Amino acid sequence: MFKGLLEKIKPYSDQVFLVAVIVLVGLISFGLGRLSAKYKTAELNIKSTIVNTADLNKIVTDGSVKNIKTVKKEVVPPSLEGSDPDVEVTILPTQKIVGNKDSKIYHYENCSGALKMKAENKIYFASILEAKSAGFRPAGNCQGLE
């Protein structure tokens, strides 16, 4: 029985091999897909409070975004030169300002300078305005600092 079938298939051995390979690849792919569905892992969720203001400048909205609230308003201290005391500044509460007591330079908490700073030299500010009024100047390597 098999001898007769083999004799009939022998002239088409190249095509039969190709069909067999395609069927096997399909079955293996199907099996791997089923396995990955069965052992589905949890999604990766990144929860971070660090906001890079340089990236915020790249966001463009068409006005359709709703429920945006200003978190905190602060009046610019009159001690800053050329500032208008009636100007309100929006402050992001998730972006902490870290100053170095020795160098009198402030950084965002996620900047390389702040990450390398010794813990005993760190002083935290609620805003850039508070750091400026304390006599600190912005770091040159932190993008987005004024």
Residue where the block lists tokens 């069965």? 38
Q: What is the pLDDT of residue 39?
A: 74
Distances (CA, A) of 125 to 21, 68, 81, 100: 66, 24, 20, 11
Q: Which has more pLDDT, 132 or 54?
A: 132
Determine which of 22-31, 40-49, 118-127 has the lowest per-residue pLDDT on average.
Answer: 40-49
Flag whether pLDDT at 94 surpasses 90. Answer: no
For the segment 43-82, what is each residue's pLDDT rounded down to a tens digit?
Answer: 666 665 565 555 555 555 545 544 444 444 444 444 444 5
pLDDT above 70 covers what percent of the chain? 61
Angle at 111 between CA 120 and CA 146, to 5 degrees: 105
- Per residue in 3-16, pLDDT (tens digit) is 888 888 888 888 99
Q: Which residues of 64-84 are buried (b: 16+ CB within 10 A; e: fewer)?
A: eeeeeeeeeeeebeeeeeeee
CA geometry: angle at 78 spanning 111 and 71, to 5°?
50
Q: Does pLDDT of 144 surpass 80?
A: no
pLDDT in the model for residue 55? 55
Model pLDDT, residue 135: 93
Across the chain, mean pLDDT equals 74
Q: Is residue 65 within 8 Å of 80, Cβ to Cβ?
A: no
Mean pLDDT of 17-23: 95
